Amino acid sequence: MPSISWVDQCRAEAPVVQLDHRWVVTDDQEQRYEYAELVGPVQGHRLVFSRLVEQQHELGVFVGTGFFACALASPEVSLEHRGGDEFVFSRLVAEWRKERGATSSTSDIVLCYAYQAIIGMGQKAVPIILAQLESEGDNPDQWFWALQALTRANPVVEEDEGNYRKMARAWLNWAARNGYAW
């Protein structure tokens, strides 16, 4: 990514909206921030924008708290922006874990709206799920239904069914053998 030349930091509960080819957010102190182009969300509570300074685009970071749910709901902050798929996925994971609560029912767990939305992301979700699965190490979560639905594969041998640590290893090995990169 090109160099970052400015940082705006504030508390903003309001959505980031696109108005007349400008990106606008108003913070909790009524301070208004305006940007030229949304480059993409990055990890944490940050959005990368460009700002026009003497006809030149300068990249910077808007650091806020609380605006992410609004930003996600805003169609202008769309998935095609760089980093968008990982951003949306991480939001959906958080929603899914909240939505499923303390149920033990796999049927209920995979029928959560957010989990279905992850499957709905299609093939581009596969490497993101694999990266998530790998990052969870010895305590992997229930990504196997989504992986089966998306790839139509089942690399888990019968004796390992239900053992998520072994199942995660089987999926990561299968994915590597089948040309997935994550």
- Contacts with another protein by CB under 8 A lie at 97-98, 100-107, 136, 139-142, 144-145, 148, 154-156, 158, 161-165, 167
Q: How far is the CB of 68 from another protein (least distance, A)?
A: 21
Q: How far is the CB of 169 from another protein (least distance, A)?
A: 13
Taking the CA atoms of 34, 40, 45 and 46 in sequence, report the sign of the dihedral they define: negative
Q: How far is the CB of 118 from another protein (least distance, A)?
A: 16
For another protein, the closer of residues 35 and 144 by Cβ is 144
For another protein, the closer of residues 85 and 99 by Cβ is 99
For another protein, the closer of residues 37 and 136 by Cβ is 136
Q: How far is the CB of 106 from another protein (least distance, A)?
A: 4
Q: How far is the CB of 152 from another protein (least distance, A)?
A: 11
Distance (Å) of CA 168 to CA 47, 117, 134, 141, 160: 32, 21, 8, 9, 10
For another protein, the closer of residues 87 and 144 by Cβ is 144
For another protein, the closer of residues 53 and 94 by Cβ is 94
